[in-house]
Amino acid sequence: MKKLLVAAFTGMLLSTSALADVTSADIANDTATTGDVLTNGMGQHLQRYSPLDIINKENVKHIVPAWAFSLGGEKQRGQETQPLVHDGVMYVTGSYSRMYAINVRTGEEIWQYDARLPEGILPCCDVVNRGAAIYGNKIYFGTLDARIVALDLKTGDVVWRKKIANYKAGYSYTAAPLIVNGLVITGNSGGEFGIVGEVQARDANTGETVWTRPVIEGHMGTLNGKESTMTGTLNATWPGDLWKTGGGATWLGGSYDADTDTIVFGAGNPAPWNSWLRGAGNPKGNEGDNLYAASRIGMDPATGEIKWHFQTTPREGWDYDGVNEVVAYTDRSGNKRWATADRNGYFYVLNREDGKFVSATPFVKNITWAKGIDDTGRPIFNDAVRPGDPSKAIDGKKGETTFAVPSFLGGKNWMPMAHSPKTGLFYVPSNEWGMDIWNEPVTYKKGAAYLGSGFTIKPLFDDYIGSLKAIDPDTGEIKWEVKNNAPLWAGVMTTGGGLVFTGTPEGHVKAFDDETGEELWSFQTGSGIVGQPITWEMDGEQFIAVSSGWGGAVPLWGGEVAKKVNYLNQGGSIWVFKLPKQLASAK
C-alpha cells in the first residue's frame, strides 16, 4: 500500500522530477561519490567508509541536528535500517516492512509505502528491516512475508512484487538486497523454523528469477528456470534426511568483490540447534559438519555456482550462525582479503581470490566452546562445552547443561562493522556475554520452531556488556576498546575525518577518534539506536544520518540481559546532523 502526501505536493515533486537512473557504474563507485549513498554498506565491499573529512576530529563537537523524521504510528519497533540518499531524496525502510521517501533538505515526506502483511508471519527476531537497494529508476526491499518488492523511485508505486518463499513455513526476509550487474540478489530468513537457506537472483527490471542457489548440501540449484547443479554432495556431511530441513538461512545479505567477480553470502545456523541429531558425535572425517551451514560462501553472480566456502563453525551446536558480513579490503602489504567477525567470537581473515583461511583471533573475552583455531581454520572444540545429548539423559528429555561463551547472540551479531583504509583497522561492535544451554528432543513441524535447545543468556561482567573494539586485521590485536553498559546492536561507520560513528541502546549516537577511541561527540535521540549510520555531502556540507528505535533480538531473546535493559523506550525516527557552515573550519 502506497501513500503519497498531498501537502506541498508540487514543490516536493520538483525535487524528484529529475531523478537520474542509477547505473552499475554508480553502484561500483558508491564510496568515492560522496554526494550520495546508493548501497547497503556504503559500497558493495561493505567497508562502511566515507572519504569525507569536512566533519573531523577537531570540529565534530559542533555538529547539531538538521532535521528529524518520525516513522510514525504504533509501529515503533526495532529500526535497524540503513538509509540511502539519491538526488536529494533519502529512502528509509521501517519496521513492519515500510518504505519512506524523504526530502533530504527539509525532512518532509514525499511518499510512503506500507506492505500488506498477512496474518501469521513468523519473524524470529523482531519486525525489523535493514535497508533497500537502488538500481535504474527503482528501489527494492524485502518484506516480512518473504517477498521482494520493486517500487518506482519517484512515486513509490509498485512495479513488481515477487515471492521469495512461503512465509507459512517460517520464511521471512529482512536484509537489504544486493545489486550486481543488473541482478537483484537476495537471501532468506527463518533458520529457527527448519527452512532451507537460499540465494536468489532476479532481473532487476522484470523481477523474473535468473538463478537460485540453496546453501545446504543435497538441494538443487536452478539457472534460467532449469535445474543446474546440486549444492555439495548428498549426505556427505548430513545424516539421513535432515538436510531437507537443514536451516542455513542467508538472512543478512551479501557483499560483492569486483576484482574477483564474486558475491559472498553467509549461511546461518543448521537446524535443529540440537547438534546430536545432526551427527555431531560422529568422529569420521567431516561427517556431521553439516555443510554449508555456519559458512561463508563465494558464488558466481551470473550463475549462482559456488566457487568456494569457508565454514567457521562446523558441527555447530550453539547457534553461532555464520551470516556475519564479509568485508572486502586490501591489507597493508597489498594482499586482497576478506574479513569477518563471527558470532562464535573469532575474527577471521580469508584470501579474497579463493576464500582460503589466512588467520583467526578471538575478539571477545573468555571464549569457552573452542580452545582455539588450528592452522586450517578449523576450531579446536572444547567437547565439555557442547550441550549434552538428551538421548543419553535418564529421562531422555534434557541433556546436560553447559555454560558457553559467547552466548548464541554472538560475540558480534548482525550489526555491521566498519573498515578504515586510512588506519587499516576494523571497528567492531561486540558483546561480552555467555549462556546456559541444553539440548532437548525435537521433531520437525512446518511453521513451528525447530530448535531442540533451551538457553539463558547471562552477562560476563558487572559493569558492561557492549564493547566497541578497534582491531588490527594483520595481527588480531585490539588497539582500543570502548565499553558500554547495555549490549551494542547498532552498525558502525568510519570516515576520512578520522571518526568512528555508532549508536547505543541508551539512545546516544556517538563519534570516536579512530586512532584512540576517545569519545568526541554524543547526542541523545530519545530511543535506543540499533540502526546503521551513513554520511554524504550536499551543497558543500557534510551530513550524518542514523535511525533511532530500540528493538531487535535482545529484548526478545536476551534472558537476564533483556531484563537489564527493559527500561529502554521504543521509538521510530531518523535523525540527520550537520556542521554549521560558519564552524566548518573551527578548531
Write out the catalytic residue numbers: 319
- Cis peptide before 301, with omega less than 30 degrees from 0? no
Q: Cα–Cα distances in Å, from 85 out to 30, 102, 385?
A: 11, 9, 46
DSSP state, residue 27: H
Q: Which residues of 301-336 are buried (b: 16+ CB within 10 A; e: fewer)?
A: bebbbbbbbbbbbbbbbbbbbbbbbbbbbebeeeee
Burial of 259 (0-12, 13-18, 19+ CB in 10 A): exposed
Q: Cα–Cα distances in Å, from 554 out to 76, 430, 515?
A: 16, 13, 30
Among 201, 209, 240, 234, smallest CA distance to 219 is for 234
Q: 93: Cβ–Cβ under 8 A, 6 or more apart, which residues?
A: 81, 99, 100, 129, 130, 131, 132, 141
**From CA 463, how far away is CA 484, in angstroms rounded?**
8
Bridge partner residues of 90 (DSSP): 85, 102
Report the first-to-last Cα separation within the chain, whole angstroms. Answer: 49
Contact 510, 552 (CB under 8 A): no
- Cis peptide before 487, with omega less than 30 degrees from 0? no
Q: 535: Cβ–Cβ under 8 A, 6 or more apart, which residues?
A: 37, 50, 52, 55, 493, 495, 501, 542, 543, 544, 545
Phi and psi for 245 in degrees, rounded to 5? -130, 45
Phi and psi for 270 in degrees, rounded to 5? -70, 160
Contact 390, 407 (CB under 8 A): no
- Cis peptide before 171, with omega less than 30 degrees from 0? no
Single-letter amino acid code for the residue at 67: W
Q: Cα–Cα distances in Å, from 296 out to 215, 287, 336, 391, 482?
A: 10, 19, 17, 32, 28
